[in-house]
Structure 1
Amino acid sequence: MYQPTTDEYAPYYKEYINNVINRDIIKTLKNQLNEIDDFLAEIPENKYDYAYAEGKWTVKQLVGHLIDTERVMAYRAMRIARNDKTPLPGFDENLYADSLDLSKRSYTDLVDEFLLMRQANLYFYKSLSEEDYYKKGTASDYTISVGALLFIIAGHVQHHFNVLKERYLNK
């Protein structure tokens, strides 16, 4: 079963990759659909606009960040899987979060968008072959593989759920 090696991702992604316990990455990404739905549904309405400290994201901004990151990482995986060797730029997650106008977006709509995006991306992820996982490209000036991107996507969600539990919900 595929497991990314350290030459397939930038060092700062190691924590995300280590968050993935089940090495069947497609199963993990699919199982996260229920986890995303269940966990985000448990967050009380009075926490949607809550940030645990000055300058930190609100819960709604954090969900927006999860959506943006899923979108960017899936796009990177698609480009690399299709043998596109064009170096891909980084993205500034704080700039993205600051640019989100969430005043007209309900929390439920954000969660639904995240779930729908993951469902759509799963069709792409499931279409990948074992060989596709090893394809490498460049993103943010680092070598990265398609398989590592899938682990990063899953581990990133787990990381932020841990942050939500510890700093927003005090669980």
Structure 2
Amino acid sequence: MSEQLALFDRHTNEFLDALALIPDSKRKISVDGEWSAAFIVHHTADVEVHFAARYLLLLGADNPPLIFFDENLYPDRLDYAGRTLSKSLAAIVGIRTMMSETLGKLQSADWDRTMTHGDGKTATLSRLVEKADGHIVSHTEQLKSLAALL
């Protein structure tokens, strides 16, 4: 699991590095109908909250339900256009560093703890972290692509 956590930390830093490619003055600009850097950051912050809640619920309860969310509703309902980028960015850094520390203290067996989907399928903590970490990687690439267009 140490390799998975090293990747988790590296991907946090790579996300921050990709955002740094976009000047503050251009972070609210969208290109070709795609999300702006600010929207990407707000979205990532909101989703990291969900992921962290899943990890904590899974660690604090035996086989809890895996609750899904509709991220497509968030930009309007959570007012991405009016939110402060620095606060969302602080949330990402805070949540991911807190979870890295928490996950780093787990025993091997904890990584095999499960949550259950509504369809009865289970997901281990290891798989949830891997999938969630892939989410920030995809948005890192999205930021890099946006930076190249701005």
65, 84, 103: which one aligns with 1:125: 103
6, 25, 32: which one aligns with 2:4: 25
Greater share of helix: 2
TM-score (norm: length of structure 1)? 0.74
**Structure-2 separation of matches of 1:66 and 1:124:** 20
Whether 1:38 and 2:17 are equivalent positions in the alignment is yes
Whether 1:158 and 2:137 are equivalent positions in the alignment is yes
Please, what is the CA RMSD of the aligned residues?
2.3
What are the ranges of 5 or more consecutive residues in structure 2 without an aligned counterpart? none
What are the ranges of 5 or more consecutive residues in structure 1 without an aligned counterpart? 3-22
Give 1:96 deviation, angstroms. Answer: 1.8
Give 1:103 deviation, angstroms. Answer: 4.9
More displaced stretch, 33-42 vs 129-138: 33-42
Conserved in 1, the CA contact under 8 Å of 2:58 and 2:113?
A: yes
**Structure-2 separation of matches of 1:140 and 1:72:** 17
Give 1:49 deviation, angstroms. Answer: 1.5
- Cα 1:44–1:124 shift into 2, 3 Å: same
One-letter amino acid of the structure 2 residue matched with residue 92 of structure 1: D
Equivalent pairs, count: 148
44, 47, 61: which one aligns with 2:26: 47
Which 4+ residue blocks in structure 1 deviate beyond 6 angstroms? Answer: none
One-letter amino acid of the structure 2 residue matched with residue 127 of structure 1: K
Give 1:43 deviation, angstroms. Answer: 1.2
**Structure-2 separation of matches of 1:35 and 1:137:** 29
**Structure-1 separation of matches of 2:62 and 2:74:** 25
Conserved in 2, the CA contact under 8 Å of 1:50 and 1:59?
A: yes
